[in-house]
Amino acid sequence: MVEDIFNEVINEASLGTVFVGIRPYNIKFSVNQDSDLNIIIDDMNRFIDLLNKYVYIVLSNRKMEVNHDNIKEIICLLFTNITYDDCSDIYSFIERYINFYDCKISDDYVYNLPVFDSDLKIESRMQSLNQETPYLFLSRLYNGDDYYELPGISYGISDNVAYVYAIQNKFDLKDLSGYQKRIKRLLYKVNKDVSDSSVSPSFVVSLTIFLMSVKNMGIDNVKAISFLPVRYHSKKVALSKRIEALKKRENISNIDVQIESLINLDKKICLNMTNKFKDNFWRVKMHYKKIDIKEKSSFIDVRVSDFESTCNDLLDGLIDGHFKRSR
């Protein structure tokens, strides 16, 4: 069943759109062809065995019904997360995603952080299937029933390596309570003596907590995936549809100028998103000298040797004892 559905996905993906029921996904890749994004499969039996294992792990973990459309969606969304490097080692890619479901950061800890006059609770929450990874790392500062949520991190763990795909702030910063306003002001102390403060302090603190958490698990290698070509293609298709819709409208002056503006804005947004994602890691490295970073073709390779004093009171409060667990 899985092999037949995968063949459906291949045929449709080669044309640029995969349909799950009536829902279209703008996905484009090929298998063993001469194309921009070509997945090399030289052992189909091994590949199908791994894909079958992955599909049923997802169905089980997410309590999904075993049917054609669910399996097709699982396969379809898996391949939105491949990089160019993964195309030449697709077996390791699927094994990695299988492992992502088997390993996560423990989320039953509460740490006392006197520097914030708060407790810190970390949690690994299952995300929707269309996200890059199964789990979202969340860290919240608590004071009684009030809390301040730091940016979430989409991550996976495989073979003692932590993979990070996104860092996003979904916490509503409007109508903050008195406690939340105090934490927000306190976070700006991260920028003390920093000339370039383009990275939000909350992102610095969240990523620091994440890196410390995986370090406490014995993981000192983190790979930050900075570019996913299938997802980028989907955004380009969405832009093309906006341009086509614009062309069909009548009485629009300077339409060529508007189209060029849309294209340039889209390129700028995509570039800014990629650069901002990378900047988070470079900013954390600026504070912690024993973190080493090397940029690769489709990811950033981060090595964490140790967390030492940063001469920043707030960050030093985080690394004090690698979080003194309160309960």
Read off the pLDDT of residues 259-306 as tens digits, 9 standing for 90 and up: 666 666 666 556 566 788 999 999 999 888 889 999 988 899 999 988
* pLDDT of 239: 64
Residues 175 and 62 in one domain: no
Q: Classify each residue of 209-222 as buried b or exposed e, where b means 16 or more C-beta atoms within 10 Å of its C-beta.
A: bbbbbbbeeebbeb
The CA distance from 78 to 70, in Å, is 12
| Inside any domain, residue 309 | yes
**Interacting residues of 166 by C-beta distance below 8 A, sequence separation 6+:** 131, 132, 153, 154, 277
pLDDT band at 190 (very low <50, low <70, confident <90, very high): very high
* pLDDT of 326: 42
Residues 182 and 288 in one domain: yes
Residue 321, pLDDT > 50, answer no
| Inside any domain, residue 6 | yes
Q: Mark which of 70, 102, 134 sits at the end of a domain.
A: 102
pLDDT band at 240 (very low <50, low <70, confident <90, very high): low
Which of 155, 151, 156 has its CA nearest to residue 171?
Answer: 151
The CA distance from 159 to 139, in Å, is 24
For the ranges 87-96, 152-161, 183-192, the lowest mean pLDDT is seen at 183-192
Mean per-residue pLDDT, 154-164: 97
Residues 62 and 24 in one domain: yes
The CATH number for 202's domain is 3.40.630
pLDDT digits (tens, 9 = 90+) for 71-124: 999 999 999 999 999 999 999 999 999 999 999 998 767 888 888 989 999 999
Residues 153 and 94 in one domain: no
* pLDDT of 3: 96
Mean per-residue pLDDT, 21-41: 90
**Residue 204 in contact with residue 192, Cβ under 8 Å?**
no
Residues 281 and 163 in one domain: yes
| Inside any domain, residue 249 | no
| Inside any domain, residue 231 | no
* pLDDT of 327: 40
The CA distance from 153 to 168, in Å, is 7
Terminal-to-terminal C-alpha distance of the chain: 47
Count of beta carbons in the 10 Å neighbourhood of residue 65: 8
pLDDT band at 253 (very low <50, low <70, confident <90, very high): low
Give percent of the chain with pLDDT exceeding 90.
59
Mean per-residue pLDDT, 114-135: 93
Residue ranges in 132-228 assigned as alpha helix (H): 178-187, 201-216
Interstrand relation of 135-143 and 291-295 (parallel, antiparallel or unpaired): unpaired
Q: Mark which of 39, 74, 102 sits at the end of a domain.
A: 102
Residues 85 and 116 in one domain: no
Residues 78 and 167 in one domain: no
Mean per-residue pLDDT, 48-68: 97
Count of beta carbons in the 10 Å neighbourhood of residue 76: 24
* pLDDT of 20: 95
Which of 12, 3, 126, 23 has its CA nearest to residue 71?
Answer: 3
* pLDDT of 262: 63
* pLDDT of 150: 95
**Interacting residues of 98 by C-beta distance below 8 A, sequence separation 6+:** 50, 53, 54, 57
Q: Mark which of 50, 83, 102 sits at the end of a domain.
A: 102
What is the domain extent for residue 61?
Answer: 2-102
Number of independent structural domains in the chain: 2
Residues 140 and 189 in one domain: yes
Q: What is the CB-side half-sphere exposure of residue 113 using CA atoms within 13 A?
A: 28
| Inside any domain, residue 26 | yes
Residues 152 and 34 in one domain: no
Residues 58 and 135 in one domain: no
Residues 161 and 304 in one domain: yes
**Interacting residues of 146 by C-beta distance below 8 A, sequence separation 6+:** 177, 179, 180
| Inside any domain, residue 80 | yes
**Residue 296 in contact with residue 303, Cβ under 8 Å?**
no
For the ranges 14-28, 284-298, 310-324, the lowest mean pLDDT is seen at 310-324
| Inside any domain, residue 84 | yes
Residues 127 and 94 in one domain: no
pLDDT band at 194 (very low <50, low <70, confident <90, very high): confident
